[in-house]
Amino acid sequence: MHNKIEFLCKQQGIKIAQLCKEAGIPKSTISDLKNGRTKTLSTQTLKKIANYFNVSLDY
């Protein structure tokens, strides 16, 4: 999942920090995902990311 988020950020030319700030997601949430401390994200967080990138939740 982290790889998809990184891919979308690279496609849009933004950094993860910018995504977090603009989408209202704590940086620690993405950091925990990247470092394996968590395997999933809440539905609310997934919706924020999907809305930010204008993609479906299935993406």
Q: What is the CATH number of the domain that holds 45?
A: 1.10.260.40
Residue 4 tokens read as 């998809």
Q: What is the pLDDT of residues 27-41, one digit of tens each?
A: 999 999 999 999 999
Q: Is residue 16 part of a domain?
A: yes
Note down the domain range covering 41: 2-53
Return the closest-CA partner of residue 54 out of 2, 19, 21, 16: 19
* pLDDT surpasses 90 at 50: yes
Domain count, the chain: 1
Question: How far apart are alpha carbons 35 and 23 in whole angstroms?
Answer: 21
Query: Tell me, what's the pLDDT at 23?
Result: 97
Q: Is residue 48 part of a domain?
A: yes
Q: Is residue 27 part of a domain?
A: yes
Per the document, the length of the chain is: 59
Provide the whole-model pTM.
0.89
Residue type, 14: I
Q: Is residue 41 part of a domain?
A: yes
DSSP summary character for residue 14: -
Query: 38: left (phi > 0), else alpha (psi -120 to 50), else beta?
Result: beta
Q: Is residue 59 part of a domain?
A: no
